[in-house]
Structure 1
Amino acid sequence: MLKACRCRLYSKFIFYQAYPVNLRIYLLTSFLFVLMESAVVAQQNDQIIEHKVQTLLSQMTLEEKIGQMTQIDFSVVAAADGQTLDNPVDVAKLENAVLKYHVGSILNTTNTPDYKPPYIEKWRLITQTIRNTAAKTRLKIPIIYGIDAIHGANYTYNATLFPQAINMAASFNPELSFKEGEITAREVKASGLDWNFYPVMDIGRQPLWPRLWETYGEDVYLTSVMGSEYIKGHQGDDFGQPTKAPTCLKHYVGYSYPLNGKDRTPAWIGERALREYFLPSFAAGVKAGAPTVMVNSGEVDGIPGHANYQYLTTILRGELGFKGFTISDWEDIIRLYTRDKVAASPKEAVKIAVLAGVDMSMVPFDFSFYQLLLELAQSGEVPLARIDEAVARILKVKLQSGLFDPPPEPLAVAGNFATADAQAVSRQAAAESVILAKNAGATLPLAKHSSVLVTGPTANLLSVLNGGWTLTWQGDNERLYPQDKQTLLAAIRQKSSGKVSFVGGQAFNDEIDVDAAVAAAAEHDYIILAIGEKPYTETYGNIDSLELDKNQLKLGQALLATGKPVILVYFGGRPRIITELAEQASAVVLGFLPGMEAGPALADILYGDVNPSGKLPITYPRHTNDIVNYDHKPIEKFDVNDYRPLYPFGHGLSYTSFKTSGLHLSKASYAQGETIELAVYVKNTGTRTGKEAVLVYLNDVAASVTRPNKQLKAFKKLELQPGEEQLLNFKLEPEALSFIGLDMKRIIEPGDFKIMVGDEVAQFNLRQN
């Protein structure tokens, strides 16, 4: 409410100088009064919630408290043949879980051998059945239902599905991330669900890692901005509203940087790197208001995430100021015993995790956590105060989410689920996320009358456009995808007025007849070769090399040898090595995972109805072992060492051209604590309307700790007509100049700094105070 009042009043207040002095004083007084009133109301609301929490705690038995800390998978309460029943819930199992074990949360989708994602009506029935059962309990504490809605309500059939996070980052458009959050929350709530395990605030700096595509890329600032905007859209000013829902930051912290690139394997991250690169995006998510955090499934420097008191309590709560509750990842508490060997028994694993700072356990298949924690609390090994602390945090989020006081009628499906407007936003996001990496001789856009051969394993599948967490966990069951959505091939056929032929298989792994493809190429003007990866996530996506598989290389080499112009289109969750093909291709389009509306969006770009504007949020490596991030240290580009990716971070072409000029700073010298103000002109120097993301980088010329060659500190995306020029203004707050010093504290040192925008560089000096 406070934020909303600020925005409404500020839009009027900025014009107050046009009014007489007396009226100005009145307006200023009114403005300050309403802000104070709003702050008082917010404080009163917090006090009311806190009172309710403490009242409930005082009434709860130990068993009821520990139940609140227990989260089970839906399969624990599911009917054996739930897929064919009107209601997949086994009421007897549900009552056992809720009335006997007092579980506080349920997660996940239905899961049977003949699984298909529930339609919205079935979800609403499932969750209402759960609410009705919770209402039978002594204190009527509601259950909070969690779901991984990571690119839309992806476990509800026919929901609006967006590009994955790596693509949203490539759009460099925070407004789209905000809208994705808004739409996802609305569709999650329309499905009857309560809580979204998203966004991923890990940063993706290890390209082998199979969850790279769930991140917003390799840059700290970009991740912080895009993730924060998603949270703000998803939660609004009050995530207890009917169309809003709480978010969950994951996976705190360091999960995304495994040394060997494989999921759930050790990360070796020193404290400085942790604080410089991996904590800031989580700090941004906490500041944006996310009330829950999911814990890192792996380990950092020998300490499993679920046993790390320093990270979970000292830093997360003491330093970042997080007030919500933490939740384990899948089965990860018991794995302190079964896998990590830091606990000598299952009971000790529970003790270690709870005392480290884990508030809720994603058990997920039984009630072992409940039973073991009850024993630990009864024996005094886990203090009752720690139990009360965890339960208070959980109850507070449930109260804030409005679960204790639900609306009399569920959120209407009409107007809130899979609307035309929502799908239009998804299509825009797909279009703005696609990166035109190469366009030799202006090969693209294609004339619509051109004859085109389409081939390759990703040309005629929807699953490869969406990736994991789509309808199913792995996202690879093509038969479940909606038939009214278009693959790349289908969209090209609809868009083109020329001859379109296809040589390919029915599944990703079907071998394509190379000779047939070469023969067909002779009869067409262009070849669109769609390559990449099949869908995957987590450990199922582990690979031993970034190299593209040999069959795809063989097909590409044969088609390039025909002499026909080849347009290489890549779909996948990480940058597989395409150098050999890309260097010979006439055009390269990096699609990554652009979502359910991607087919038409890609066709719009290929045929010029939409001008591409995506930019790489990662460094695309040239060779499989040459992994250097864009914000590399000086030693990484010195002597024989170099930064020479296939395509650098921030790279992305357009069908028009843009030029920056006149970069200037407000001053040549600043005192510490001052805001750095800069401006730059951006002009569309081409012949087509286009969007351009203008990126502002900073370099600290000399410091007591080695600094990156450049770091992204601001960006804006704008649309310009041919010949149009616009002046962009940026402000860099003092913190943008900071880094982690020798004593592991964030500091700002005086000295020279460079600002880089496009091809221009401006320098300023920061004075010692």
Structure 2
Amino acid sequence: MEFYMTSKRFLIPCLILMVMSACGEYNSGSYGGGQDDIGRKIDSLLSIMTLDEKIGQMTLYTSDMDQTGAFLRPEYIEDIRAGRVGSIFNAYGAEYTRYLQEMAVEETRLGIPLLFGYDVVHGHRTIFPVPLAETASWDIDMMRLTAEVAAREAAAEGLHWTFAPMVDIARDARWGRIVEGSGEDAYLSSLIAAAKVEGFQGNSLYDLHTVAACVKHFAAYGAAQAGRDYHSVDMSDRMLREVYLPPFKAAIDAGVVSIMTAFNDLNGIPATANSYLFQDILRDEWGFDGFVVTDYTAIMELLYHGVAEDAHHASELALNAGIDMSMQDGFYHQTLADLVEQGRVTEAQIDRAVAYILRVKFRLGLFDDPYRYSDVEREKAEVMTPENLEIARDMARKSIVLLKNDDQLLPISESVRNIAVIGPMADNQRDLIGSWSAAGDWTKSVSLLDGLKNRMPDVNFIYAEGASIDGESRDGFSAAVAAANRADLVILAIGEAYWMSGEAASKVDISLPGVQKELAMELHKTGKPIVAVLMNGRPLTINWIDENIPAILETWFLGTTAGDAIADVLYGDYNPSGKLPVTFPRHVGQIPIYYNMRNTGRPFEEHNKFTSKYLDAPNEPLYVFGYGLSYTTFDYSPVTLSSQEMRPDGSLEARITVSNTGSYEGEEVVQLYIHDKVASVARPVRELKGFQKINLVPGESKEVVFTITNEDLKFYRADMTFGSEPGEFTVYIGGNSRDTQSAEFTLRD
């Protein structure tokens, strides 16, 4: 173990060698480090650390920013120099991180390097589409690539660790953090969770272009009651394990090295004090060997949950639950030494927590060279390169969903020379990069108006804001109507501000804010063809828009290259292929609404009041999960199965032929769903079990083959064992969760 420093370069190796020699036959793993070479180094280091130094490794504090740039509070600088803090978040930049690292390495007794973390959620400097938007691409390889690029940029600016991916399943559009995840489906979210971990962490954390990932928020945070952020969650163990936990398990199987606690309580026990989650499931069942960090001040919040009497009690609960690192509240820093002295926690528990943290620092190579990530020249070479921006543009194109296209209004013909571009999102840069946009600079993002001008510099684009995003003024309506009257086509850019989704951004009204709907109604009166371009971080209730506007593009918040990507789609340079990863309700009263509900004992019948339905609205959503149109059309043949029977140790193939029956080359996401018709537990009406994204030229057909195995049929049975049951199953294949072809087979004993 070699520390790359001047005055202390040989101190730690010598001390550890002395300790190991004095111990005679070395007892590997005695402090939780493990049996491998890193584990032995960890155990040696732990044996010469004081209790306060160990607690320091369990403490995470923030850096701050002001008009002059990044700075650290004086008390935190003192803590670093005293070895009382092991990690810093919100500090980035090669020079700044080196400055802080030098304090830890040069001015503390042991010189243990700091770990620098940051919320690199959908890009670092180059901002990619928000995660919900990326999910709409259904392109797992591209999502892995955007994480890889984000990691390269973050690592080049001195960062070691990202607080991503967020894998919380969200079935409630009122919840603002739906924008940060992958939607409502556990299967799709699990694939993305694994891909993001692989993208961030690469093949080796020692690679300078990778960062440690942190999967969050464990667990069930996305099921907050009433969609209100931080609210309670009460659910069955079956629901937890079948829907909310699989993406976390996928991230762990992919090798994620850290996990973050959720803010919510689960069945009355706050996640940060929940040993069922962090000991029974995470450590004992899943064998997780990374470290657990709280979310911001979550140990302190145990006081407000009403489960802890004071700071000491809160820290005791958290450590006993298996929480290794405290973010920002300083409770571990303030209380753990006292708790050890009082016998309420043991130093062995602290050693285990510190060992998990140190292992990540070793794997990142920080003990070989603490400054290896703080390279100014590499920073200049890696950040916002033309290659990174092109990847961002491609990801943005793939994330756009075509919701409606009556009379093939899109793509826009290049012969259209006068186009009105109207709405608060039309000449907007700030909102395009969305929430959690890391170190992204919104002034470098491409607005829709600029993207259109870049694509068609000779077209007369007539701009009018019309209205603000959430204001009540209608003063701009007349100018907008005048612009529309002078044009042959109207592009109406409407939606939400970036801050309307994300953390602490729950809403009871998910319709278009302000007077944007009224603006659309006024423009509709002109009789001009209108293309609505939506920019938002959650599903919106847009019934009037759907009923009256002939073409609708869902573009979410697409990041730095948003305007260019939208123009690519509007003009047909890219044929939209996105599919919704979340259901769009007709009314907020339908929420929670998702495709894989159970059938109930009284399934819907239109003319029977005493069935499961509303008196004042249909059951069906506005747009179903998996929905998305193309500029071309696709035809699906009937499904054929290789056999009508399958045994648990066997498999069968489901085949379908997809044909491009339109005039454009296009991609289609072919989706496989399965329904277990009779089981010991009522099963969802259908569940996504596979998909393939194919490209077809006009007139081309392609056979798509899915292999179904017993793994696709397993669930938590009545006795909570996990497995399949013999019986009949229906296979559905189609372009969304509703419009499908089907076939049936039987699983035999």
Name the TM-score, length of structure 1 as normaliser.
0.86
Q: State the match for 1:134 in structure 2.
A: 104
Q: State the match for 1:298 in structure 2.
A: 264
| Residues 449 and 499 in structure 1, CA contact (< 8 A), matched pair in contact too | no
Residue 340 of structure 2, aligned match among 352, 362, 377: 377
| Deviation at residue 99 of structure 1 after TM alignment | 2.7
Using the alignment, how far apart are the partners of 1:673 and 1:370 within structure 2? 53
Structure 1 window deviating more from structure 2 (99-108 vs 584-593): it is 99-108
| Deviation at residue 335 of structure 1 after TM alignment | 1.0
Q: State the match for 1:515 in structure 2.
A: 478
Verify: 1:493 aligned to 2:453, yes or no: yes
| Deviation at residue 415 of structure 1 after TM alignment | 4.6
| Residues 461 and 507 in structure 1, CA contact (< 8 A), matched pair in contact too | no
Q: How many residues align?
A: 691
* Cα gap change, 1:533 to 1:499, in 2 (>3 Å): same
| Deviation at residue 282 of structure 1 after TM alignment | 0.6
Using the alignment, how far apart are the partners of 1:249 and 1:362 within structure 2? 15
Cα deviation, 1:501-553, whole Å, max 9, x if unaligned, reads 11117964464511221222111112211111111255541222223235112
Q: Which amino acid aligns with 1:503?
A: A
Residue 443 of structure 2, aligned match among 475, 482, 504: 482
Q: State the match for 2:406 in structure 1.
A: 440
* Cα gap change, 1:727 to 1:469, in 2 (>3 Å): same
Q: State the match for 2:53 in structure 1.
A: 64
* Cα gap change, 1:653 to 1:89, in 2 (>3 Å): same
Cα deviation, 1:489-508, whole Å, max 9, x if unaligned, reads 12123323332111117964
Verify: 1:108 aligned to 2:82, yes or no: no
Q: State the match for 1:740 in structure 2.
A: 716
| Deviation at residue 562 of structure 1 after TM alignment | 1.8
Return structure 1 stretches of 4+ with deviation > 3 angstroms. Answer: 87-90, 92-95, 407-411, 505-512, 537-540
Q: State the match for 1:274 in structure 2.
A: 240
Verify: 1:256 aligned to 2:222, yes or no: yes
**Residue 590 of structure 2 aligns to a residue in which SS?**
coil
Residue 388 of structure 1, aligned match among 347, 351, 359: 351
* Cα gap change, 1:145 to 1:505, in 2 (>3 Å): farther
Cα deviation, 1:163-209, whole Å, max 9, x if unaligned, reads 11101110000010110111111111001111010001111211100
Using the alignment, how far apart are the partners of 2:225 and 2:193 within structure 1? 25
Verify: 1:144 aligned to 2:130, yes or no: no
| Deviation at residue 93 of structure 1 after TM alignment | 4.7
Matches within 5 A, 1:659-674: 659-661=635-637, 663-674=639-650
Matches within 5 A, 1:332-411: 332-337=298-303, 339-364=304-329, 367-406=330-369, 410=373
Using the alignment, how far apart are the partners of 2:748 and 2:504 within structure 1? 52
**Residue 589 of structure 2 aligns to a residue in which SS?**
coil
| Residues 89 and 126 in structure 1, CA contact (< 8 A), matched pair in contact too | no
Verify: 1:761 aligned to 2:721, yes or no: no
Instruction: Percent identity, please.
Output: 36
Residue 68 of structure 2, aligned match among 55, 59, 84: 84
| Deviation at residue 390 of structure 1 after TM alignment | 0.6
Residue 675 of structure 2, aligned match among 699, 703, 715: 699
| Deviation at residue 161 of structure 1 after TM alignment | 1.0
* Cα gap change, 1:45 to 1:405, in 2 (>3 Å): farther
Q: State the match for 2:19 in structure 1.
A: none
Cα deviation, 1:132-158, whole Å, max 9, x if unaligned, reads 1121222221111110000111xxxxx
Cα deviation, 1:50-109, whole Å, max 9, x if unaligned, reads 11111111111111111110111114xx8xxx6437x7457x655411232421111124
| Deviation at residue 351 of structure 1 after TM alignment | 0.8
Q: Which amino acid aligns with 1:283?
A: K
Q: State the match for 1:183 in structure 2.
A: 149
Cα deviation, 1:4-50, whole Å, max 9, x if unaligned, reads xxxxxxxxxxxxxxxxxxxxxxxxxxxxxxxxxxxxxxxx9971111
Using the alignment, how far apart are the partners of 1:505 and 1:106 within structure 2? 44
Using the alignment, how far apart are the partners of 2:309 and 2:72 within structure 1? 36
| Residues 147 and 193 in structure 1, CA contact (< 8 A), matched pair in contact too | yes
| Deviation at residue 281 of structure 1 after TM alignment | 0.9
| Residues 101 and 370 in structure 1, CA contact (< 8 A), matched pair in contact too | no
Q: State the match for 1:204 in structure 2.
A: 170
Q: State the match for 1:462 in structure 2.
A: 429
Structure 1 window deviating more from structure 2 (740-749 vs 722-731): it is 722-731
Q: Which amino acid aligns with 1:50?
A: G
Q: State the match for 1:504 in structure 2.
A: 465
* Cα gap change, 1:720 to 1:357, in 2 (>3 Å): same
* Cα gap change, 1:251 to 1:683, in 2 (>3 Å): same
Using the alignment, how far apart are the partners of 1:463 and 1:680 within structure 2? 44
Q: State the match for 1:53 in structure 2.
A: 42
Residue 209 of structure 2, aligned match among 243, 249, 260: 243
**Residue 392 of structure 1 aligns to a residue in which SS?**
helix
Q: Which amino acid aligns with 2:465?
A: G
Residue 128 of structure 2, aligned match among 138, 155, 162: 162
Using the alignment, how far apart are the partners of 1:602 and 1:246 within structure 2? 32
Structure 1 window deviating more from structure 2 (185-194 vs 591-600): it is 591-600
| Residues 317 and 323 in structure 1, CA contact (< 8 A), matched pair in contact too | yes
Residue 561 of structure 2, aligned match among 584, 590, 597: 597
Using the alignment, how far apart are the partners of 1:264 and 1:616 within structure 2? 26
Cα deviation, 1:272-310, whole Å, max 9, x if unaligned, reads 110110011111111011010000011122111111111
Unaligned 5+ residue runs, structure 2?
A: 1-32, 606-610, 735-739
Using the alignment, how far apart are the partners of 1:549 and 1:414 within structure 2? 40
| Deviation at residue 678 of structure 1 after TM alignment | 2.7
Verify: 1:99 aligned to 2:81, yes or no: yes
Q: State the match for 2:510 in structure 1.
A: 546
Q: Which amino acid aligns with 1:589?
A: L
Q: Which amino acid aligns with 2:68?
A: T
| Residues 59 and 328 in structure 2, CA contact (< 8 A), matched pair in contact too | yes
Structure 1 window deviating more from structure 2 (247-256 vs 126-135): it is 126-135
Q: Which amino acid aligns with 2:513?
A: D
Q: Which amino acid aligns with 1:341?
A: G
Q: State the match for 1:427 in structure 2.
A: 393
Unaligned 5+ residue runs, structure 1?
A: 1-43, 110-117, 154-158
Q: Which amino acid aligns with 1:181?
A: A
Using the alignment, how far apart are the partners of 2:652 and 2:323 within structure 1? 40
Using the alignment, how far apart are the partners of 1:653 and 1:101 within structure 2? 57
| Residues 293 and 325 in structure 1, CA contact (< 8 A), matched pair in contact too | yes
Matches within 5 A, 1:528-547: 528-536=491-499, 537-547=501-511
Using the alignment, how far apart are the partners of 1:375 and 1:141 within structure 2? 23
Q: Which amino acid aligns with 2:49?
A: M
Using the alignment, how far apart are the partners of 2:62 and 2:274 within structure 1? 25
* Cα gap change, 1:618 to 1:674, in 2 (>3 Å): same
* Cα gap change, 1:73 to 1:731, in 2 (>3 Å): same
Q: State the match for 1:559 in structure 2.
A: 523
* Cα gap change, 1:743 to 1:391, in 2 (>3 Å): same
| Residues 333 and 363 in structure 1, CA contact (< 8 A), matched pair in contact too | no
What's the RMSD between the two structures over aligned residues?
2.1
| Residues 714 and 732 in structure 1, CA contact (< 8 A), matched pair in contact too | no
| Residues 94 and 130 in structure 1, CA contact (< 8 A), matched pair in contact too | no
Using the alignment, how far apart are the partners of 1:95 and 1:592 within structure 2? 40
| Residues 260 and 293 in structure 2, CA contact (< 8 A), matched pair in contact too | yes
| Deviation at residue 407 of structure 1 after TM alignment | 8.0
* Cα gap change, 1:264 to 1:505, in 2 (>3 Å): same
**Residue 205 of structure 2 aligns to a residue in which SS?**
coil
Using the alignment, how far apart are the partners of 1:518 and 1:548 within structure 2? 19
Using the alignment, how far apart are the partners of 1:532 and 1:637 within structure 2? 35
Q: Which amino acid aligns with 1:724?
A: E
Cα deviation, 1:407-444, whole Å, max 9, x if unaligned, reads 87555235532222221111111101100000001111
Q: State the match for 1:612 in structure 2.
A: 576
Structure 1 window deviating more from structure 2 (674-683 vs 587-596): it is 674-683
**Residue 698 of structure 1 aligns to a residue in which SS?**
strand
Q: State the match for 1:3 in structure 2.
A: none
